[in-house]
Amino acid sequence: MIKKILFLTGTRADFGKMKPLMRAVDSDPTFECTVFVTGMHMLKQYGLTVNEVCKAGFKKIFMYMNQVQGERMDVVLANTIIGFSRYINEYQPDMVVVHGDRVETLAGAIVGAMNNILVAHIEGGELSGTIDGLIRHSVSKLSHLHFVSNNEAAYRLRQLGEDTDTIHVIGSPDVDIMLSENLPSITEVKRYYEIDFDRYYIVTFHPVTTEIESIYENTCNLVNALVESGKNYVIIYPNNDIGSDEILRAYKRVKNNKRFRIFPSLRFEYFLTLLKHAKCMIGNSSAVVREAPIYGIYSINIGTRQQNRFSYKSILNVGYRKSEILDTINSIDCLPICEPCFEFGRGESAHKFIDVLKGDKIWRTNKQKQFIDVIKLKTLSSSV
């Protein structure tokens, strides 16, 4: 009997990461792949990336508008729960697959868990700052199955009380694409996006929702450092979390500067090619601490958003002060070549994912979850 697998994607980032898994499911006659597209994908300001999902060629795609520009995260969460719940009631999937730590991810996990449908979480057990960390761990507790990037993430899930039998280490799915021989050439990418820089830095800076009052000032410090450095930059819009408008307001200063190219979004494969040939990645996106090290590209991690996440010798951590950012940018040319990091797999995630799905055991996973103690606590007595 064919199993219906429903993937939920709300951002350009999670779609890029899940695409290898979607393709593997879509090409296997044992499964039926459906993609529920919502979130930033549907917003014109962020490049209307739903078009990129449609161009990927998946046979079953459902599009849902869960927000208008500027709506708060809790409202977006509520809207997504309503729309996704109605859809799964009609579609009746056997499994819901969600990724990471976005509000759409949380909505998908809530709906799946409350409708007695297996929820599979991709890349749980990792650390991230601000509200993202709270969402990621909440999704893990709502999920029945976990497909994680490394053993460290698996250990954290066991600390959260998750059953070892439900945790599968497959690596990070985007590494499948990163190490593919089918990425576009740098010549093709530069031509497509009209980038004429020989040497350039990539910048992606997202809002930190717990630092909302200082987002504009922090972004201005970053922009001032970029301008004073005299280098060339490819800037990608932030995500749509609260505070993104303040970042975009700060970017207006360099809108007509010839050393800057600013894009609402980039095709994932094109972004990877640009990153692979960049001098450095700057900002606070997950690419700073994940994709850049995989390519051996130096990255400058600004502020607290990725605090305590992943540490590697190519990641240079700085605060929000302009002078600190500028000094670190200017130091890049003096640093030695850094070898690639393979902490998150070697491009076999989709194969490992399908192997798990094709087994009988996973479909017998108990939907009534139990908390598994890592260490049985001894009864403690205390005197009053």
Q: At CA 193, angle to CA 190 and CA 194, rounded to 5?
A: 70
pLDDT level of residue 383 (50, 70, 90 thresholds): very low
Q: Which pLDDT score is estimated for 131? A: 85
pLDDT of residue 309: 83
d(CA 92, CA 335): 54
What's the rounded mean pLDDT across residues 160-168? 97
| pLDDT tens-place string over residues 3-24 | 999 999 999 999 999 999 999 9
Instruction: Look up residue 377 and give its DSSP letter.
Output: P
For each of the domains in the chain, give its residue range(s) and CATH number, in order of start: 3-178+346-364 (3.40.50.2000), 186-334 (3.40.50.2000)
What whole-number distance in Å separates Cα of residue 249 and Cα of residue 368?
47
Of the candidates 156, 152, 136, 123, the one whose C-alpha atom is nearest the C-alpha of residue 353 is 123
Q: In this structure, how many other beta carbons lie within 10 angstroms of the beta carbon of residue 327?
A: 13
Nearest to 87 by CA among 8, 171, 205: 8
Among 46, 65, 9, smallest CA distance to 241 is for 46
**Percentage of the residues of the chain whose pLDDT score is greater than 70:** 97
The pLDDT of residue 128 is 78
- DSSP, residue by residue, 352-367: HHHHHHTSSGGGG--S
Q: At which residue do the structure tokens 């305590």 appear?
A: 308
Task: Kindly tell me if the per-residue pLDDT of 375 is higher than 90.
Answer: no
* Nearest residue to 21 (alpha-carbon basis) of 128, 137, 175: 175
> Phi and psi (nearest 5°) for 212?
-60, -35
What average pLDDT does the structure give for the chain? 95
The helix or strand, by DSSP H or E, that contains position 315, with its residue range, turns out to be strand 315-318
**Cα–Cα distance measured from residue 366 to residue 221, given in angstroms and rounded to the nearest whole number:** 51
pLDDT given at position 382 = 44
Name the percent of the chain lying above pLDDT 90. 92
- On whether the CB atoms of residues 64 and 83 are closer than 8 A, the answer is yes
What radius of gyration, in Å, describes the C-alpha atoms of the chain?
21
CA angle 147, 149, 150 (to 5 degrees): 115
**Res 380 pLDDT > 60:** no
Q: How confident is the model at residue 245 (pLDDT cuts 50, 70, 90)?
A: very high
Q: What is the mean pLDDT of residues 333-341?
A: 95
pLDDT band at 270 (very low <50, low <70, confident <90, very high): very high
| 165-190: b (≥16 Cβ within 10 Å) or e | ebbbbbbbbbbbbbbeeebeeeeebb
pLDDT the model gives residue 132: 87
What number is the average pLDDT over the span 320-336?
Answer: 97
Task: Tell me the three-class secondary structure of 240-269, residue by residue.
Answer: CCCCHHHHHHHHHHHCCCCCEEEECCCCHH
Q: What is the mean pLDDT of residues 54-71?
A: 94
Structure confidence at residue 379 (pLDDT)? 46
Could you give the CA distance from residue 80 to residue 73 in angstroms, rounded to a whole number? 10
Q: Coil, helix or strand for 291?
A: helix
Q: What is the pLDDT of residue 376?
A: 60
pLDDT at residue 69, rounded to an integer: 83
Distance CA 216, CA 365 (A): 47
Average pLDDT over residues 190-194: 97
For the segment 88-147, what is each residue's pLDDT rounded down to a tens digit?
Answer: 999 999 999 999 999 999 999 999 999 999 999 999 999 877 788 899 999 999 999 999
Across the range 46-56, mean pLDDT stands at 95
